[in-house]
Amino acid sequence: MAQNIIDVKNLSKSFDISSKEPGLKGTIKHFFRRQTKSLKVIKDISFEIKEGEIVGFLGANGAGKTTILKMLCGLIYPSEGSILVSGYLPFRRKENFLKNITLIMGQKQQLIWDLPPIESFYLNASIYDLDKFEAKKRIKKLSEMLEIDEELFIPVRKLSLGQRMKSELLAALIHEPNILFLDEPTLGLDINAQRNLRKFLQKYNKETNATICLTSHYMKDITSLCKRVICVHEGEISYDGKLDLLLKKLSPVKEILIVCRSEEDTIKLENSGFTVKNKIKNEITIKIENNSIISSLKTILNNFDIVDLFINEPPIDEVIGKVLIKKDYDI
């Protein structure tokens, strides 16, 4: 059984935030006498993550996801509580701890802007004390996994966002870390680039058993990568568990579009006790609860003259969107 690699207990973080009234008067007042207040952005959270797990952190903007990631990788000191990552206190930033982790941020870059990415890779390799031969081997392996080749020799400023992100990943993974912290890694990428990145992360996780903590506003990232999600709402954990359980809880019904042979059948269907969403001529959309879907479909197929039918899952963004605005999910 996999061991816990991340252990967080009663973690809280407060920041001093200054606020400013609008207008010139407010600006002058703000300049001479700054009003600051302490804002608790993370409130007494606890969770554990096992080795090799991919966990998605979900939450609205400002919910505290990135702050949690930054505390886990040791960038921010926690105000209260304890964090243990791979047996280390992250904020001490010990060399062996740093050699085990990496942070990738979709909106920030570490590559040297005017030079080809290969130069940044070798610089990182020297920082992680890798010899030239080992660095070359790892660059080759990762570039094959990421499907980049010629791009390695083109100045970063001339690469597309997708090519840059792949290079960022390579630069961040050259030391083969065990724990990856990814803060919106697919931000701004086109659909194909997003899919390639997800494919790479899945492959990396499978090959190295690395633990991945991910935040993303693209639901496809979460659904295709994470079995477990931690939902953060105003600094508190509102849900921590399996993604499919959450989805079932949040969307207990499926929508079924039924195309009947005649309009009479749709009227009969409408009057047979199903919850109807809408009806247009010989097409009717009904809602059926997940746990009775098989029996209901049998009844429909046996008793009505059906030409075609479509089972529609509710849009995932819409479902997850409910998590971002609600505090507790009792599952």
Binding site for other proteins (CB under 8 A): 15, 66, 70, 73-77, 93, 95-96, 98-99, 101-103, 105, 107-110, 112-115, 119-120, 122-124, 126-129, 155, 183-184
3-state helix, strand, coil in the chain (%, to 5): 40, 30, 30
The nearer residue to other proteins, 151 or 168, going by C-beta atoms, is: 168
Chain center to CA of 253: 25
The one-letter amino acid at 168: E
DSSP for 282-318?
Answer: TEEEEEEEGGGHHHHHHHHHHHS-EEEEEEEPPPHHH
User: Of 178 and 285, which CB lies nearer to other proteins in the complex structure?
Assistant: 178
Shortest distance, CB of residue 124 to other proteins, whole angstroms?
Answer: 8
Cα atoms found within 13 Å of the Cα of residue 281, Cβ hemisphere only = 2
228 membership: H or E segment, kind and range: strand 228-233
Cβ proximity to other proteins: between 155 and 321 the closer is 155
Q: Which is nearer to other proteins, 117 or 246 (CB)?
A: 117
Give the number of residues written for the chain.
331
Of 91 and 304, the one with the shorter C-beta distance to other proteins is 91
In the numeric block, which tokens belong to residue 263? 């309009």
CB of residue 109 to other proteins, shortest distance in Å: 8
The arrangement of strands across the sheet holding 283-289 comes to: 275-280, 283-289, 253-260, 306-312
Burial class, 299, CB count within 10 angstroms (exposed 0-12 / middle 13-18 / buried 19+): middle
Q: How far is the CB of 115 from other proteins (least distance, A)?
A: 6
Q: In whole angstroms, how close is the CB of 155 to other proteins at the nearest point?
A: 7
Q: Least distance from C-beta 50 to other proteins, angstroms?
A: 23
Distance of CA 133 to the CA centre of its chain: 35
75 or 319: whose CB is closer to other proteins? 75
Measured from the CB atom, the residue of 127 and 311 that comes closer to other proteins is 127
Q: Least distance (Å) from other proteins to the CB of residue 101?
A: 7
Compute the least distance from the CB of residue 82 to other proteins, in Å.
Answer: 17
Which CB atom, from 110 or from 224, has the smaller least distance to other proteins?
110
d(CA 121, CA 111) in angstroms, rounded, equals 8
Q: How far is the CB of 290 from other proteins (least distance, A)?
A: 36
Cβ pair 259, 308 in contact under 8 A: yes
Place of tokens 């061991």: 3
Q: How far is C-alpha 202 from the geometric centre of its chain's CA atoms?
A: 13
